[in-house]
Amino acid sequence: MRFYEYESRRIVERAGIPVTDYGFATTAAEAGQAAERIGGPTVIKSQVLTGGRMKAGGVRFADSPEQAEADAAEILELEIGGHVPVGVLVDPKAEIEQEYYAAVLWDGRAKRPMMLFSDMGGIDIEQVAAEHPDHVGRGHLSNLHPIADFEAKQAVARCGMTGSALNRASAVLARLARLQRDYDMTLAEINPLARLADGSFVALDAHMEMEDEAVGRHKPMLHEIGVDLDEPRELYEPSEFERNVKAIDAADHRGVIQGKDHGFHGDLGLVIGAGGGSLTLTDAVRSQGGRPANYAEIGGNPSVAKSKGLAIEVLRKDGVEKIAVMMSIVSNTRVDIVARGVIKACLELGKDPAETIAIFRIPGAWEEEGYRILDRYGVEYCDRSVSMWEAAGRAVARVQGDRTGSQ
């Protein structure tokens, strides 16, 4: 789960990490009031779940509450990369002595969280790591033992820091590490972390991402900071196809279906199965000149109704005349149940299954029963002796035959 900047700010604040005296506003008037309260020059920042705000004009500097209000009015109307802002963050323009970088994220290879700290903050950390490796301090954390303060101090000291800055920065990093663990963050990052003229540290910008699988156990915290759990927060706006498939999946607990069509513009509908099988089959279709209309995943032995629902949605897509129904050898999902589902989809749409299903290649559980159903409707099918690659090729050839035939 991704968070808006203002939500990340609240999360960091709750963890005891100092932040600026910021304000979150959903209207221009509120933004003006926040600027008034803060006093002095402010920064107005668009709240969107996408990068590139600065370039798009979503960040502005205001000298007065009036200007803050005017800037906020414009930013609230400004779409960035297709995203409409949910509000603006009003921040005091801080007097900064130095910028730092602090983060805690997963190191998949070590299977442990890793702390990162740098005294060169505000810029891209990858660039710092490449050009000034001695300015990046690192430290792994145990998953089992309590996080000790000295571990954070070591990581900060490893980037060459000392003095009171070391102690103050270490306290921030230790809190960030505990926050990452307590709230299942896949990324907990403060960039920049600023040292002000009085020597204190404040988080100027924070970026948090919570693991989707863990959202359920953090509802109280999410509620407290005002997160709307029904908001989709996708990287892009889901299409009608994607929304419909999701609704069909949610309506019935038997089995799992997923469908995506973002980035797919082809004419061959795919009703394909399981994570690995779906990836393999999509490659096989594309490598043989096929143009998939969608991506799909079927798993966990879905009901007839669910398989039918997915097939109908795929067949309803513009330009899709045929579907390929393919999976790697199944041991849980049943061949006959999927066969019933896809044939029913054709019949309900008034289409001939024999014409509409370019190929049916699902070997495995209940295959003999499935083949009897496919025989009855004259659907072309194959068993495990025909590879996934060959089956995909046959589907592509049938669609291409149609295309040349109709020209």
Partner 1 sequence: MHGTFIDVEVSGAAASDPELARKLEEVCPVDIFAAAGGTVEIARENLDECVLCELCVEAAPRGTVVVRKLYDGTRLER
Partner 2 sequence: MSVLLHEDFTFIVQGITGREAVNLTRECLDFGSAIVGGVTPGRKGREVHGVPVFDTVEQVVEHHGSAPDGAVVTVPPAFTKDAVLEAIENGIGLIVVVTERIPRADVAQMVELANERGARIIGPNCLGVIVPGVAKMGGIGGPARDAAKAYAPGPVGVMSRSGGMTTEISSTLTAAGLGVSTAVSIGGDAIIGSTYAELMPLFDADEQTEAIVIYTEPGGRMEAELVDWRERAGSELPIVAFMAGRFMDDEEMQGMSFGHAGTIVEGKEDSATEKIARLEAAGIPVVERIDEIPAAVKQKLGAAA
DSSP, residue by residue, 372-395: HHHHHTT--B--TTS-HHHHHHHH
Residue 331 interacting partner from partner 2, partner 1, none (CB closer than 5 to 8 Å by kind) = partner 2
Contact partner, 337, from partner 2, partner 1, none, Cβ < 5-8 Å per class: partner 1
Binding partner of 223, given partner 2, partner 1, none, CB within 5-8 angstroms per partner class: none
Smallest distance from partner 1 to CB 337, Å: 7
DSSP SS3 for 94: coil
Answer for which of 38, 176, 245, 304 binds partner 1 (CB under 8 A) is 304
Which residue is listed with tokens 């989707």? Answer: 212
Sequence-distant (6+) residues with CB within 8 A of 79 are none
Q: Which residues bind partner 2 (CB under 8 A)?
A: 106, 108-109, 111-113, 142-144, 181, 184, 186, 211-214, 216-217, 235, 260, 262-263, 273-280, 282-284, 286-287, 295, 297, 327-332, 364-365, 384-385, 387-390
Among 56, 96, 347, 386, binds partner 1 (CB under 8 A): 347
Q: Which helix (H) or strand (E) holds 298?
A: strand 295-299
Euclidean distance between CA atoms 90 and 331, whole angstroms: 56
Q: Is the Cβ–Cβ distance between 331 and 362 less than 8 Å?
A: no
Burial label, 144 (beta-carbon count in 10 A; 0-12, 13-18, 19+) = exposed
Non-local CB neighbours of 299 within 8 Å, separated by 6+ positions: 255, 256, 257, 273, 274, 275, 332, 333
Decide: is 343 part of the binding site for partner 1 (CB under 8 A).
Answer: yes
In the complex, the smallest distance separating the C-beta of residue 310 from partner 2, rounded to whole angstroms, is 16
Q: How far apart are CA 89 and CA 73, in angstroms?
A: 12
Structure tokens at 184: 């299942």
User: x/- contact string, 350-369, with partner 1 (CB under 8 A)?
Assistant: -------------------x
Contact at 8 Å (CB) between 171 and 184? no
* Residues 219-258 within binding reach of partner 1 (CB under 8 A): none
Q: Which of 373, 379, 388, 391 binds partner 1 (CB under 8 A)?
A: 373
Report the distance separating Cα 254 and Cα 248, nearest Å.
11
Neighbouring residues of 142: CB distance < 8 A, sequence distance ≥ 6? 112
* d(C-alpha 268, C-alpha 346), whole Å: 15
Judged by beta carbon distances under 5 to 8 A according to partner kind, the member of partner 2, partner 1, none in contact with residue 373 is partner 1
With CB under 5 to 8 Å by kind, the binding choice for 403 among partner 2, partner 1, none is none
Report the residue number, 54 or 354, with the smaller CB distance to partner 1. 354
User: Alpha-carbon distance 220 to 171, whole Å?
Assistant: 25
Task: Work out how close the CB of 352 gets to partner 1 at its nearest, in angstroms, rounded to a whole number.
Answer: 14
Closer to partner 2 by CB, 121 or 273: give it. 273
Q: Which does 340 bind (CB under 5 to 8 A by kind): partner 2, partner 1, none?
A: partner 1
Closest approach, Cβ 213 to partner 2, in A, equals 5
Is residue 372 involved in binding partner 1 (CB under 8 A)? yes
Least distance from partner 2 to the Cβ atom of residue 278, Å: 7
Question: DSSP 3-state assignment of 326?
Answer: strand
Q: Which residues bind partner 1 (CB under 8 A)?
A: 303-305, 334, 336-337, 340, 343-344, 347, 369, 372-373, 375-377
